[in-house]
Chain A
């Protein structure tokens, strides 16, 4: 492999760089420009440098083309959100510039493709640097000139601006393109080097260095991936070897992952003809004694509901994933919304208590898949994982899981069953005998959606329906006893308890930090177990004056979001109030801070927000 120039020789001297703790970079272009790839490289680089990283991505629902952005926040502290506004905006096109200029903080750097963008000359609020990204890429790659490598060119520019680890980036480029032919790797490296070698004098006001990580080295290595992938690998670790699904955005990448991965593990993933068939096939796998998965996004979950009712009635273990998006109906398929909570809990017929979990970030997708597997098997019940578009598509770095300790081996237990075996004992948890199990009693069990007696035979007996309904309810209540008390951050008592679920974790935690800096006593609790509630919530709630539930869904007819409604119904605590929104985007920290401040009548000016970019600290 030839690397045409040695970047370190052309590199800027360290002394001219300003050291910064963290930076938010927004890349705006079109979906085919590979800006996700730049984001991915930066995220993985940060992960390999023990730096914290958080990304945020929007993709258009069109197949090709259309505006697309990727936002990366890299830093040395604990990075929990992708940042409200950007310090650097990279604009590939005029529309990218126009649509995203407002997201750039004062004092930030606008890096634009001078081949396509003419910025407003009167805009003195930001440092504008024009770079002929398209023509420079074509020139660098040469020959069969294509502007295709301009994302990698920009990566080179950023590497120069932020004094990033070039050998590691080169290694990442080689890994990423290594599977393809040599020319592609070579062209990518040429584009990267050209970006890196962009005349330093043009960038001299824009050279920075990220602080060294304060996290002590020697812990577990960092891995970088997106939430849907983390969930996929979590399912593999949980012992899921069988599943079925139907394509729908943003769930599809999980089923694609499973379809490719499962055969390696001796398993099968079926692409079904529709959502109903998918859950039915998955339940067939479960009936066979496997731990199986199906999943979808909101509309698909609606289609699965009748079968999910069967799973409750027949007491069949199953992991069901819902990667939530904007609804109702086809809604906003590539936007975030947390409006499927009620559907997850109640979207079926009959009394149908269910287990519902919600991962708080990318890392948690992995661990909640394990938790879902544990609950599904231990309690012989369907478990719904409510993840969402934001967590599913964004990339984060986290500690590599301790796989030898975590991996679960699930095999059908077809050992002969004792004469007293009953599939639905009234006074014990259901433990199905999958087919292949010899019944020493000579009586073979039926699993059924009809109300049944302890052997699974149909009945409309009043006593049995009462007792079996109770059995199914008490089982889910017993799940609660197996849960830890939720983790509480910040002040353990005081003015405000912020409650969230799913992707709101980072912004809420940072909002808590800002409010506490301003002297408000605030705690934060992110609920991972939505149904049943983990024990100890009531006692925690009683320690705060205000309990604000932050969600991305509508306030409904009576002014409360979906989790807030559930919590009010459960605890009858009038201090529980709601912060909701339905713009299809994740929360900005400032949005939460402002809504909290308003709710508790905080005098204006109590909270100081940084208006200027961190890059503006040094006068230029």
Chain B
């Protein structure tokens, strides 16, 4: 369906602060009650706080309900094929270091069809932020088992209850070598904003997994971490390095082993920053270093001089 939004807003004056009004685009196509609305609202807030020049922001996505995201944000962006938005976004980031690249997607897009890419983009560490809206079900195709569906989940492809072991997203991401790994919940707007802000400000590949309920096909999936539904909202208590005795028990996000231990906690587990590695250089930086070193060796020769020299060697 065509959902082209009418944008009555005049363009902001250059340098004017970025507002939600400016960032609104098409009206979201999600079902009423979908957790993704809250993620979108939080993302507007994140962009307002970051206040990047509007034309320097890129939002991209693969395929799925949540992957419709870029249509709803008035920035440069697009909608790629299923599961492959990460390598696409890596191309944007590596080719254009001046941009701020955000990728949105769901659990099927990220952990199933795009699982291989997630592992390899994580290890290569390009500068971009990836937000996974995990609803533990295939929503766009109407209720099939997803890679994060819990054992026993009754779907159209497992009417008797799923029995394949689901992926543990935090463990998978840590294992891939992602340099920023955080977890949040679509019912916790302030927490989402905080996690996405930290992710955007991380120099490298940053991932935030957000549990975002599909009210249509997996109602109540994440109630166990919603207090008003009787669940427990359990935040990661980050180390303050204040030397206090209680600080020793707090989580050090640079400690990979501790992060794995957190990831192994039973469902619904904890929320917050699991891991952050500020020392590993980004692929952007490494490629730029390679270019600088190579250019130094060729004494900054022009393109024409370089290629002419190559042909002269073939004489």
- A residues at B contact (CB < 8 Å): 44, 47-48, 175, 221-225, 233, 236-237, 242, 244, 261, 263-268, 270, 272-274, 276-278, 280-290, 292, 306-307, 309-310, 314, 400-401, 403-404, 407, 409, 412, 414, 433-450, 453, 455-461, 464
Contacts and interface: CB of A to CB of B under 8 A. Distances in A.
Contact of B78 (A244, A278, A314, A442): A314
Given A280-B80, A281-B91, 11 more contacts: A233-B310, A263-B291, A264-B298, A270-B94, A280-B88, A280-B117, A282-B91, A284-B95, A288-B95, A435-B58, A444-B54
Contacts, number: 211
A442 B315 contact: no
Contacts of B2: 453, 457-461, 464
B108 to A, nearest CB: 16
B307 interface: yes
A263 B294 CA distance: 6
Contacts of A285: 91-92, 94-95
Nearest to B288: A268
Nearest to B291: A263
Contact of A287 (B22, B55, B91, B116): B91
Given A263-B294, A407-B303, A446 B78 contact: yes
A288 B308 contact: no
Contacts of B22: 442
Interface residues of B, number: 64
A285 B126 CA distance: 13
B117 A273 contact: yes
B314 to A, nearest CB: 4
Contacts of B1: 458-460
A283 B99 contact: no
A444 B75 contact: yes
Nearest to A433: B76
A590 to B, nearest CB: 32
Contacts of A458: 1-3, 71, 79
B65 to A, nearest CB: 13
A611 to B, nearest CB: 37
B90 interface: yes
Nearest to B124: A270
Interface string B284-315: 00010011011100100101101110110111
B114 to A, nearest CB: 10
A281 B87 contact: yes
B78 A448 contact: yes
Given A244-B91, A284-B89, A306-B81, A237 B291 contact: no
Nearest to A456: B78
B98 interface: yes
A264 B84 contact: no
A55 B311 CA distance: 19
Given A280-B80, A435-B58, A270 B88 contact: no
Contacts of B291: 263, 266-268
B240 interface: no
B55 A438 contact: yes
Interface in B172-209: none
Nearest to B10: A442
B98 A277 contact: no
A453 B84 contact: no
B76 A435 contact: yes
B127 to A, nearest CB: 13
A446 B70 contact: yes
A404 B84 contact: no
Contacts of A403: 304, 307-308, 311
B314 A435 contact: no
B279 interface: no
B111 to A, nearest CB: 16
B250 interface: no
Find the residue from A277, A438, A440, A450 having the highest chain B CB count within 10 A: A277
Contacts of B307: 233, 236-237, 403, 407
Nearest to B68: A458
A373 to B, nearest CB: 14
B77 A446 contact: yes
B59 to A, nearest CB: 9
A447 B117 contact: no
A267 B293 CA distance: 13
B134 to A, nearest CB: 22
A310 B90 contact: no
Contacts of B91: 242, 244, 270, 280-288, 292
B8 to A, nearest CB: 10
B314 A224 contact: yes
B294 A281 contact: no
Contacts of A274: 116
A307 B314 contact: no
Nearest to B100: A435
Contacts of A414: 55
B55 A264 contact: no
Contacts of A435: 55-58, 76-77, 92, 96, 99
